[in-house]
Amino acid sequence: MKVHAFAAGPSSKKVFCRLAVVWILLIPLTDAPRVAEASLVDQETTDIAGLSSNPPDDHIYTWIGNTPEWNRKMHVAGYRMGCDAGDARGCVREATEAVQQNGFRRVFLSMFVDEQRAPGDAREYSLLSISHPFIAEIGFDDFVDRYEKLFSRPGLDPASWLRGVIRSIKRHNVRLGFGITLYEDELDSPLLRSPNLPPDLARSVDYVHLFLHYRSDAPHFPEYIQRSRTLFPNAKIIAGLYAYDRVDYIRCSPSNARACTPREEIQLYEQAVTIVARMLKESRIEGIEFYPGFFGKENEWGGWKRRAYCSRRRVQECIADTRVMRQSTVEALAAAMDW
């Protein structure tokens, strides 16, 4: 329908209003359900006018919990958050607070892989993303491990289930991304290939968060990233690094049981962050993600309470080494990105 412009006089305004009413009445009734759905969205919309003010090369993400000073120092563009509690609105509310406080551009949300809840949660996140456009992704952390568990559920076809979840994520917002976390030692998994993961599902992955499990695999990071692209041809790759002391958590190399020495732990981490910083500068990856958050608040991270992460006798050493690694992170990013 062609809309004509009118002069600003009082009589013209009356004519315009009558035509506007007629035009509204002619809107197809098929649009009504979408309008009704939109009315259900929370009104806590975020003013995102300034969210795109960051330089285009700012694609640095961490998990939640940093100090504002460290967010500025690292040019953090957004957080990644786990939403395993099944409370979509509560999780988005927390994400909104982080965005408003830090001026972030993006937030990546990871939901729980639950056979019953996930499809409904996906639809709710899809709807909420309309009024919270900073939400870049709804996805699954530890994808291979969690997807594998679905194959033991009687009567469940995991591929069909996952296809339905992805459709639910896109239901109200086709631009909302679907993402997964992978690790370099999972790239040969049959769960990432047909028939377990049909080609249409592989093409539906919008983001791959590729983390290094083993410090000694750092030199091969570019190779792992390329293999991820082959598996998921439409996905943007975010390189993931564990920015904390993992000497007690996992062996240094997949080929032997020896733990990294603290010196090796730091040096191999520095090698990895230098590699991915260069790849980001060259636009060979979408971004870099660091786990955990708590940059600037290292001693407050709850992980130190778990012996599997750091033995009790080494807690202070773990914290000190983690701070060294994080200072190296800033230096590597600044050198690569010319900050």
Angle between the N-to-C axes of helices 143-150 and 158-170, in degrees from 0 to 180, rounded to the nearest 10: 120
Amino acid 131: pLDDT: 96
Confidence of residue 27 (pLDDT cuts 50, 70, 90): very low
Report whether 108 contacts 180 (CB < 8 A).
no
Judge contact between 184 and 217, C-beta under 8 A.
yes
Q: Which residues contact 88 (CB under 8 A, 6 or more apart)?
A: 111, 121, 124, 125, 128
**pLDDT the model gives residue 108:** 97
Separation between Cα atoms, residue 56 and residue 247, nearest integer Å: 35
138-170 pLDDT, tens digit each: 999 999 999 999 999 999 999 999 999 999 999
Measure the CA–CA gap between 214 and 66, rounded to whole angstroms: 25
**Cα torsion through 252, 246, 136, 238, rounded to 10:** -30
Q: How many CB atoms lie within 10 A of CB 258?
A: 11
Tens of pLDDT, residue by residue over 177-219, are 999 999 999 999 999 999 999 999 999 999 999 999 999 999 9
Confidence at residue 51, expressed as pLDDT on a 0 to 100 scale? 37
Angle made by CA atoms 255, 222, 189, in degrees to the nearest 5: 55
Q: Would you tell me how many other CB atoms lie within 10 Å of the CB of residue 243?
A: 23
Residue 278 CA neighbour count, 13 Å, CB half:
8
16 — pLDDT class (breaks 50, 70, 90): very low
**4-8, 264-268, 271-275, 308-312: least confidently modelled range:** 4-8
Instruction: Name all domains of the chain by residue range, CATH numbers in brackets.
Output: 57-337 (3.20.20.80)
Give which of 328, 179, 145 is closest to 241, Cα–Cα: 328
Q: pLDDT-based confidence at 55, cuts 50/70/90?
A: very low
Q: What is the pTM of this model?
A: 0.83
pLDDT of residue 9: 40
Residue in 88, 219, 213, 86 with CA at minimum distance from that of residue 144: 213
Average pLDDT over residues 14-33: 39
User: What mean pLDDT is predicted for residues 303-316?
Assistant: 95
Mean pLDDT across the chain, nearest whole number? 86
pLDDT at 79: 96
Helix ranges (DSSP H) in 45-157: 68-74, 88-102, 118-131, 143-150
Tracing tokens 């002619």 back to the chain, one arrives at: 26
| Strand residue runs (E) in the chain | 60-63, 76-83, 106-111, 135-140, 177-183, 207-211, 236-242, 287-291
210: exposed, middle or buried (C-beta count within 10 Å: 0-12, 13-18, 19+)?
buried
d(C-alpha 271, C-alpha 129), whole Å: 37
Report the percentage of the chain scoring pLDDT > 90.
78
Reply yes or no on whether the pLDDT at 15 is more than 60: no
